[in-house]
Amino acid sequence: MPRVIVDVMPKPEILDPQGKAVHGALPRLGFNAVTDVRQGKRFELEVDSADEATLAEVHQLAETLLSNPVIEDYSVRVDA
Amino acid sequence: MKIGVVTFPGSLDDVDAQRAVRIAGGEPVALWHGDHDLKGVDAVVLPGGFSYGDYLRCGAIARFAPVMTEVVAAAHGGMPVLGICNGFQILCESHLLPGALIRNDHRTFICRDQVLQVENTSTAWTSDYAEGQQITVPLKNGEGGFVADAATLDRIEGEGQVVFRYVDVNPNGSLRDIAGITNERGNVVGLMPHPEHAVEDLTGPGTDGLGLFTSALTSLLARS
């Protein structure tokens, strides 16, 4: 059964306190190469078929429920 | 005058909101998230708490509760609607109010008695206050940072839609110290602090919060 992935990320200009907290913990663990962290969400949607109509529906639900367009961007892709 | 208070799974302050309505002189009516019925109320309060466990985003799932279809329609028709804390988040997710609430910039939950300045006294929920009046009500949130893009912020400032602003301390990173806003019509108001916890001297920092509930009753009486 095909799987559609929806990634939701805070918009670049929106403060991401969770990402900042993760980033702040890295040096304490000895990881010093990372200069910034942004934390988002990944949704895996099982669908009967990843046809055009289904993907259009996924875009719609990503925009209305999975993300809040005021503060987040989303992307949709079919899992290979 | 009947003021409905919606209980969602995870609401915490619905009973306090009902009590505030009663102390203000109104008749509180319990509304259930799963009902398609506002039971003939004249106004609605969406209370604080963690509806649907704050899953996905605060207020994101509550927005699609059956009762919200009725609340959104009534709000568009001019019914006074107040969202407190989680209720404010629900109103933003429902697009009844602009902007969104994100996690506090200092990443910790905050609970304090907060001074607010009342900046708009022409809404259905603030007419009993004086413009510029400072009130103290409890604030308790983890995701209370009000954000919107610069154009939206300029627009709501220009239209007088900022109703409450934090004084002395910005407790959660809210842009331009915004604590509460209204829609263009002035019937829908949302704020992060909890006026329903400041309606009796015995159990709060004072009675400064009562004015929101008496204002709604005043505006309803003026209309009838």
One DSSP character per residue, chain B reads -EEEEEE-TTB-SHHHHHHHHHHHT-EEEEEETT-S--TT-SEEEE--B-GGGG-SSTTTTGGGSHHHHHHHHHHHTT--EEEETHHHHHHHHTTSSSSEEE--TT-S-EEEEEEEEE----STTTTTSPTT-EEEEEEEESS-EEE--HHHHHHHHHTT-EEEEE-S--SS--GGGEEEEE-TTSSEEEESS-GGGSS-GGGSS-STTHHHHHHHHHHHHHH-
pLDDT of residue A1: 87
> What homologous superfamily is domain B2-223 in, according to CATH?
Class I glutamine amidotransferase (GATase) domain (3.40.50.880)
Nearest-Cα residue of chain B relative to residue A19: B107
To the query of whether residue B194 is one of the catalytic residues in this protein, the response is yes
pLDDT of residue A57: 97
Q: With 90 as the cut, is the pLDDT of residue B37 above it?
A: yes
CATH number at residue A33: 3.30.1280.10
Answer whether B145 sits within 8 Å of A20, measured CB to CB: no
Q: Does A15 touch chain B (CB under 8 A)?
A: yes
Q: With 80 as the cut, is the pLDDT of residue A80 above it?
A: no
To the nearest whole Å, the CA of A53 is away from the closest chain B CA by: 23
pLDDT of B142-157, one tens digit each?
Answer: 999 999 999 999 999 9
Instruction: Select the residue of A10, A13, A17 nearest B105 (Cβ to Cβ).
Output: A17
Structural domain count, chain A: 1
Per-residue pLDDT, averaged over B14-41, amounts to 97
pLDDT of A9-48, one tens digit each?
Answer: 999 999 999 999 999 999 999 999 999 999 999 999 999 9
Mutate: best of B147, B152, B153, B155, partner A, most A CBs <10 A = B147
**Which residues of chain B make contact with A68, given a CB cutoff of 8 A?**
57, 60, 93, 100
Instruction: Select the residue of A18, A20, A70 nearest B100 (Cβ to Cβ).
Output: A70
**Which residues of chain B make contact with A20, given a CB cutoff of 8 A?**
107
Q: Which of B85, B93, B143, B197 is catalytic?
A: B85
**Which residues of chain A make contact with B100, given a CB cutoff of 8 A?**
68, 70-71
Average pLDDT value over all residues in chain B: 97
Answer whether B57 sits within 8 Å of A68, measured CB to CB: yes
Look at residue A5 and give its three-state secondary structure.
Answer: strand
pLDDT of B196-220, one tens digit each?
Answer: 999 999 988 999 999 999 999 999 9
**Which residues of chain A make contact with B173, given a CB cutoff of 8 A?**
15
Per-residue pLDDT, averaged over B46-51, amounts to 97
Pairing of strands B100-102, B145-147: antiparallel
Nearest-Cα residue of chain A relative to residue B98: A70
Q: Which residue has the tokens 């988002």?
A: A40
Domain extent, residue A69, equals 3-78
Binning pLDDT at 50, 70 and 90, where does residue B187 land? very high
pLDDT of residue B223: 80
Q: With 90 as the cut, is the pLDDT of residue B69 above it?
A: yes
To the query of whether residue B85 is one of the catalytic residues in this protein, the response is yes
Q: With 90 as the cut, is the pLDDT of residue B109 above it?
A: yes
Q: Give domain limits for chain B.
A: 2-223
Answer whether B102 sits within 8 Å of A14, measured CB to CB: yes
pTM (2 decimals)? Answer: 0.95
